[in-house]
Chain A
């Protein structure tokens, strides 16, 4: 069965770099078509897509945050990572990782399995 779990620092100060880890099981990021995305949600607000990484190491970023985001993976350990540089209070949110699968050109893309989320607070 597919599971994902996020981990992070909990709290950090403005201007620091946020490092998040997504540890997953039930699939491999070295398998054709597999991908992992990061999505965040400030408390009481909506969802915002941040980045995707694919089995072939293709990477996509939210243009509004692109200069601050770096997504990567470690296929041997079934992990995906997201770094956000120069954080400020607006980055306070619950961060989710989720699986996405490419079935082919004529098939829809969607995030099917999500982690429980990790809450991150940016505060001085």
Chain B
């Protein structure tokens, strides 16, 4: 089973600040998906196939990475970005999620 380790676990960013969330895989994966989950809501597909934004996702978000290291970047933090972000790998069974990064507003 591929273990995904997300860092940081929690972080706070100021409006306008650049934010980078990381996801490290225990073995190489072909691509990474990211989900945004707001309090009390279901996870939403945010980035798929490493770098493709899901429908409706603002273009201040981007995804990158390869092999064992992937990241989600917000170019300029906004209040609506407050959420927990999870990475998910589906290139190897069983699918596994990272533990999540809780992003707060400073």
CB pair A110 B45 closer than 8 Å: yes
A110/B100 contact (C-beta < 8 A), A49-B95, A60-B94, A117-B42 known: no
- Interface status of B105 (Cβ within 8 A of chain A): no
Point out the residue from A49, A63, A114 that lies within 8 Å of B44, measured CB to CB.
A114
Point out the residue from B42, B43, B94 that lies within 8 Å of A63, measured CB to CB.
B94
CB pair A60 B93 closer than 8 Å: yes
- Interface status of B65 (Cβ within 8 A of chain A): no
- Interface status of A62 (Cβ within 8 A of chain B): yes
Interface of A is mostly: strand
Number of A-B residue pairs, CB cutoff 8 Å, is: 62
Interface of B is mostly: loop
Note all chain B residues with C-beta closer than 8 A to A115: 42
Rounded to whole Å, the gap between the CB of B21 and the closest CB of chain A is 14
Interface residues of A in 57-72 (CB under 8 A from B): 60-63
CB pair B45 A112 closer than 8 Å: yes
- Interface status of A46 (Cβ within 8 A of chain B): yes
- Interface status of A108 (Cβ within 8 A of chain B): yes
A110/B48 contact (C-beta < 8 A), A46-B86, A115-B42 known: yes
Pick the 9 closest A-B CB pairs, nearest first: A108-B49, A109-B90, A110-B48, A47-B97, A49-B95, A114-B42, A110-B33, A108-B31, A46-B99
